[in-house]
Amino acid sequence: MKKILQAFLISLLPMSWSVAQTPTGSVLIKNAHVLTVTNGDLEGTDVLVENGIIRRIGKNLSAPASVEVIEANGMYLMPGIIDAHSHVALDAVNEATAPITSEVKMADVVNPYDIGLYRALAGGVTISHAMHGSANAIGGQNITLKHRYGSGNPEDLFMKEAPRTIKFALGENPTRVHGRGNGIQPRTRMGVDAVIRNGFNEAIQYKKAWEAYNNALKVRGATPVPPKYDERLETLADILDGKIIIHCHSYRADEIYGLINTCREFGITNIVFSHVNEGFKVAPELAEYTMGASVFADWWAYKFEVYYSTAYNAAILTRNNVITSINSDSGELIRHLYHEAGKAQRYGELNDQETLALITINPAKQLGIADKVGSIEVGKQADLVLFNEHPLSIYAIPQMTFVDGVKYFDINADDNDMRLRVSASEVVEPIFLKEHEHRCMHGVDFFFTNFGRSLFNHSH
Amino acid sequence: MQFPNIENMKKILSFILSLVLLPFLGFAQYDGEFVKPKNGRFLLQNATIVTVTNGTIQNGSILLANGKIQALGQQVDAGDAEVIDCTGLFIYPGLIDGGSRLGLVEVGSLAETQDYAEIGQVTPNMEALVAVNPNSVAIPVTRVSGVTTTLTMPSGGLFPGTAALINLNGYTPDQMYAGFKGVVMNFPSSARRSTWDRRSDDDIKKEFEKAQETLNEIWEKATTYHRLKTAGAALEYYPEMEHLSKVVAGELPLLVEVNAATDILKAIEWIASKEVKAILTGVAEGWRVAEQIAAAKLPVVTGPMLSIPTRQSDRYDAAYTNPGKMAKAGVKVAIRANDAENTRNLPFNAGFAAAYGMGKEEALKAVTIYPAEIFGVADRLGSLEVGKDATLLVSTGDPFETRTQIRHVFIDGYRVPMSNRHIKLYQEFLERSPGLEKN
């Protein structure tokens, strides 16, 4: 028996080995204008990467002969851009069958062949937070991806160091899908709050039942009956225990404030609000009680709950000391987050450092990975992007993008067709006039009145 | 003792009164003051003037009067005009967006506020200008970005209606009207509407052929109607054909929305065979057939640049480079944001076009003089020249750069307030009172 077990374990070894090892690279980038984000800008500086980690930052660095040297000639090097809200590389987005679906995992539906990953890399994005949609008050568990485009194994894209996160959603989407669509709670913002509270309270009961069972086991000779295992409530209990970061789709100040209060009541501090169009109205509360807000640069008026928005949201939040990031929620926007961040200079005159933080160190904080990525610092993972001009200039074009020191995008080596896989049944390649994938309401669009026929609709 | 005369008494009294009233007057600034668009004579002094058509003037001034640019140059006499110091600032012509839905929709998802798509395939007589809401919250949000003018377009069926060029200031559609209308035609499309259009290749082909047939039938009807009308025949009331006959007669141009490469070629052929005055719009795959568009001498309004490539096999930057490639082939290209509430992103679309091959100068023309020429209003808009409309922006730098601030906007001689709901919310909430604690 022991031998069989041993043989089984040994047979597992190469598998776990291959899973654990994603490619890392070494590279010396010379003479760059380094935008560290956390330690200011360094002109004419070299960055040495060894085996995927930033080893040295300084002048006149040298590397072993085997290491590729890139002459940056004063081009701008910044940390890889991080998108805290994305649906790229997902085969499904919404499990819209119940107001709470915390047992669902986006890790199960990662599609490593999505061309959207390459397009994101070409826009300097190295990490995206692949999220469940916004149909449910408590949705599925998200997965943080590193854009290691080229592997056919979904797990190669997982950022294994990243903590678990889960999607929550407030307002029009869950009330439309469940209340108006299916005739069940929630149909109102009162109902959304109740659904979440009920979930937390059930999880507390569930935890107590297991505690009672485990305590009973300690009594000699006792044969207690274990409670029924429930993945949904296990996950909610993990939220209450602070093991999972909530990323909550939200728009209006009242619903944001309401969930802040609910979380405080249940002792939850790991919460980030996403979209948060009216976050600026409760900026002091967001600063005091949450891990911040991840916003759109300028989207508004596409539905009623975003009618009273302002493009100055990111600036107001930043000035109120809210950890603020700018996300895409879109396979289109993810390609130019540096430009989206730049809008915080038009609308609120943030300085360069504050603005770059919106797409680097701040989203890293919100995903719980700020000790690994999000800035150019010795010891951090070498996710880097090189721009021909300052990345906040409208004329900036990403030149190269590195993940773990491996170059995944090089504008000079970019082929026209970067697909990894082509459908065998495809005779004529389809032409699409508009991208409608990669969004919050993907899969439940029939709840909208417009049926996506127009070229103008956003439905987030 | 000298007794104060009555005049002095009055002065003293009004002084005391003003002291008493001062706190109230101060309060009035917070409660109720409204800045209105202001008409008058203005001298914009000592700026870098980017005329677009006649180079750049350093330390120049522009005199605005009676809604027009009255003088422009390094030596301009202010006369009685209000002087606005523009030292260190730049003046550009107002930016013209080549296609939007601005004013035709207030909240995207709410049917009650959607006034851009009428029922039916053939409704060319639906006038966008009639439905433009001059008080749309999105209008002041747009114009403070320096986008002063947009072609607002109906959408939907084969002939969804008539688009109108509007200036973003005024209280009635007529005050906003900027002098151009065109009939929108959605050319039969062999492309998928979006990535969740699941029709089979066969179905798409069949629908395309049927639409092409329908189009030709309708056009035949329109030309027949026009022929009978010009021959003086008594015709039954037929508003759709009445409207299309104006296109047949060349009084109104066709705005032909077409995007896929093969469709563009078919559209070019169709336009030539019908001898109709046309402007191509959309043209997402224009770069694939740029030579043919140039040879057909058809102007193009394209955008947004900030969109994904139409095919998965395309280079990631296909949409960014599209306008530049068409321009290089000799096509006259204007840019549109193709948006409603975020038409303010027009300059950023132009910036991307500039960076990805079009060049800054051509991209600037693509949002100023080219759309003005394409829409036949270049005598009034699109550049800074004496005699043209006083429609311009004053900025701290290149208006395509996000870090640039737009300081002043003038539309049709009116100095528009640099405020809107987005800015008011910023003013209210930057430092909220009360903050976290009430006391």
Dump pLDDT digits (tens) for A176-204: 999 999 999 999 999 999 999 999 999 99
Are B179 and B313 in a shared domain?
Answer: yes
Are B155 and B254 in a shared domain?
Answer: yes
Residue A209 has pLDDT above 50, yes or no: yes
Residue A365: pLDDT band with limits 50, 70, 90: very high
Specify the residue for token string 């080893």: A55
Query: What one-character DSSP code corresponds to residue B112?
Result: G
Tell me if B12 is assigned to some domain: no
Question: Which residues in chain B have their CB less than 8 angstroms from residue A418's CB?
Answer: 316
Residue A455 has what pLDDT?
35
Question: Which residues in chain A have their CB less than 8 angstroms from residue B355's CB?
Answer: 394-397
Longest C-alpha distance within chain B, in Å?
108
Say how far apart CA B87 and CA A64 lie, in whole Å.
54
Tell whether B203 is within 8 A of chain A (Cβ).
no
Are B151 and B291 in a shared domain?
Answer: yes
A-contacting residues in B 19-78 (Cβ below 8 Å): none
Contact B316 A459 (CB under 8 A): no
Residue B192 has what pLDDT?
81
Q: Give the CATH number of the domain where residue B387 resides.
A: 2.30.40.10
Question: Which residues in chain B have their CB less than 8 angstroms from residue A349's CB?
Answer: 405
Are B131 and B180 in a shared domain?
Answer: yes
* Residue in B with minimal Cα distance to A426: B201
Tell me if B363 is assigned to some domain: yes
Residue B32: pLDDT band with limits 50, 70, 90: low
Contact A280 B196 (CB under 8 A): no
Contact A435 B194 (CB under 8 A): yes
Query: Which of B359, B304, B362, B291 is closest to B336 using CA atoms?
Result: B304
Domains of chain A, first to last: 81-369+437-447 (3.20.20.140)
The residue type of A389 is: E
Contact A394 B352 (CB under 8 A): yes
Using CB atoms, pick whichever of A396, A416, A450 lies closest to residue B313: A416
> Looking at per-residue confidence, does A68 or B193 come out higher?
A68
Tell whether B109 is within 8 A of chain A (Cβ).
yes
A-contacting residues in B 238-297 (Cβ below 8 Å): 259-260, 282, 284-285
| CB-CB contact of B163 with B152 (8 Å) | yes
The two three-digit tokens of residue B244, written as one number: 């299309």
- Which element (helix H / strand E) includes B45? strand B42-50
Question: Among the residues of A275-350, which ranges form H helices?
Answer: 283-289, 313-319, 337-346
Contact A449 B191 (CB under 8 A): no
| CB-CB contact of A403 with A147 (8 Å) | yes
Instruction: Tell which phi-psi region holds residue B173, choosing left (phi > 0), alpha (psi between -120 and 50) or beta.
Output: alpha
Residue A172 has pLDDT above 70, yes or no: yes
β-pairing, A76-79 vs A27-35, is parallel
β-pairing, B42-50 vs B56-65, is antiparallel
Query: Which of A61, A34, A50, A28 is closest to A386 using CA atoms?
Result: A34
Residue A415 has what pLDDT?
83
Question: Which residues in chain B have their CB less than 8 angstroms from residue A433's CB?
Answer: 189, 191-194, 259-260, 282, 284, 310
Contact A122 B317 (CB under 8 A): yes
Residue B168 has pLDDT above 70, yes or no: yes
Tell me if B429 is assigned to some domain: no
Residue B199 has what pLDDT?
85
Supply φ then ψ for residue A166, to 5 degrees. -140, 150
Per the structure, the count of domains in chain B is: 2
Contact A397 B110 (CB under 8 A): no
The two three-digit tokens of residue A409, written as one number: 């995008």
Residues in chain B: 439
Are B196 and B81 in a shared domain?
Answer: no
Contact B109 A302 (CB under 8 A): yes
Tell whether B311 is within 8 A of chain A (Cβ).
yes
Q: Which residues pair with B302 in a beta bridge?
A: B282, B335
| CB-CB contact of B401 with A390 (8 Å) | no
Q: Which residues pair with B257 in a beta bridge?
A: B186, B281
Residues in chain A: 460
Residue B191 has what pLDDT?
85
Are B393 and B262 in a shared domain?
Answer: no
Other CB atoms within a 10 A radius of the CB of residue B78 amount to: 14
Q: What is the DSSP string of B323-391?
A: HHHHHHTT--EEE----STTGGGHHHHHHHHIIIII-HHHHHHTTTHHHHHHTT-TTTSSS--TTSB--
* Residue in A with minimal Cα distance to B422: A310
- CA-based torsion, A396, A402, A403, A404: positive or negative: negative
Tell me if B392 is assigned to some domain: yes
Are B145 and B248 in a shared domain?
Answer: yes
* Residue in A with minimal Cα distance to B400: A394
Say how far apart CA B202 and CA B187 lie, in whole Å.
19
Are B290 and B161 in a shared domain?
Answer: yes
Residue A14: pLDDT band with limits 50, 70, 90: very low
Tell me if B357 is assigned to some domain: yes
- CA-based torsion, A195, A201, A202, A203: positive or negative: positive
- Which tens digits make up the pLDDT trace of B374-402? 999 999 999 999 999 999 999 999 999 99
Question: Which residues in chain B have their CB less than 8 angstroms from residue A316's CB?
Answer: 426, 429-430
Question: Which residues in chain B have their CB less than 8 angstroms from residue A394's CB?
Answer: 348, 351-352, 354-355, 398, 400-402
Query: Which of B246, B251, B187, B253 is closest to B215 using CA atoms?
Result: B187
Q: Residue B6, SS3?
A: helix
Residue B313 has what pLDDT?
93
Are B160 and B81 in a shared domain?
Answer: no
Residue A21 has what pLDDT?
85
Residue A425 has what pLDDT?
72
Residue B27 has pLDDT above 60, yes or no: no
On the question of a cis peptide bond just before residue A154, with omega within 30 degrees of 0, the verdict is no
Residue B399 has what pLDDT?
98
Tell me if B127 is assigned to some domain: yes
CA A20 → CA A51, A159, B167, distances in Å?
A: 14, 11, 60
Give the residue numbers spanning the domain of B69. Answer: 33-93+382-420
- Choose, out of B110, B194, B262, B360, the residue to mutate when testing the contact with A (most A CBs < 10 Å): B194
Say how far apart CA B159 and CA A216 lie, in whole Å.
76
Question: Which residues in chain B have their CB less than 8 angstroms from residue A417's CB?
Answer: 313-314
Are B387 and B258 in a shared domain?
Answer: no
Q: What are the residues whose beta carbons fall under 8 Å from the beta carbon of A276, sequence distance 6 or more? A: A250, A251, A256, A286, A293, A294, A295, A313, A317
- Which tens digits make up the pLDDT trace of A75-127? 999 999 999 999 999 999 999 999 999 999 999 999 999 999 999 999 999 99
Are B78 and B125 in a shared domain?
Answer: no
Say how far apart CA A111 and CA B348 lie, in whole Å.
32
Are B268 and B339 in a shared domain?
Answer: yes
Mean pLDDT over the full length of chain A: 92
Contact B429 A419 (CB under 8 A): no
CA angle in degrees (0–180, nearest 5) for A436-A357-A32: 105
Residue A26 has what pLDDT?
98
- Which tens digits make up the pLDDT trace of B226-253? 999 999 999 999 999 999 999 999 999 9
- Which tens digits make up the pLDDT trace of A23-66? 999 999 999 999 999 999 999 999 999 999 999 999 999 999 99
- Choose, out of B114, B288, B308, the residue to mutate when testing the contact with A (most A CBs < 10 Å): B308
Supply φ then ψ for residue A168, to 5 degrees. -115, 160
Contact A416 B345 (CB under 8 A): no
Residue A416 has what pLDDT?
85
Residue B177 has pLDDT above 70, yes or no: yes
Q: What is the mean pLDDT of residues B60-72?
A: 98
Q: Taking the C-alpha atoms of B48, B50, B56 and B62 in order, what is their torsion angle to the nearest 10 degrees?
A: -60
Tell me if B27 is assigned to some domain: no
Say how far apart CA B50 and CA B29 lie, in whole Å.
36
Percentage above 90 pLDDT, chain A:
86
Percentage above 70 pLDDT, chain A:
90
Q: Residue B70, SS3?
A: strand
Contact B316 A118 (CB under 8 A): yes
Q: Give the CATH number of the domain where residue B276 resides.
A: 3.20.20.140
Contact A301 B138 (CB under 8 A): yes
CA A27 → CA A24, A48, A68, B136, distances in Å?
A: 10, 6, 5, 54
Q: Please identify, among B381, B412, B431, the residue that sits at the C-terminal boundary of a domain.
A: B381
Tell me if B437 is assigned to some domain: no
Q: What is the DSSP string of B215-266?
A: HHHHHHHHHHHHHHHHTT------HHHHHHHHHHTTSS-EEEEE-SHHHHHH
- Choose, out of B121, B312, B430, B432, the residue to mutate when testing the contact with A (most A CBs < 10 Å): B312
Specify the residue for token string 């010379």: A30
- Which element (helix H / strand E) includes A403? strand A398-403
Tell whether B119 is within 8 A of chain A (Cβ).
no
Tell whether B308 is within 8 A of chain A (Cβ).
yes
Q: What are the residues whose beta carbons fall under 8 Å from the beta carbon of B326, sequence distance 6 or more? A: B283, B286, B287, B290, B293, B294, B300, B302, B333
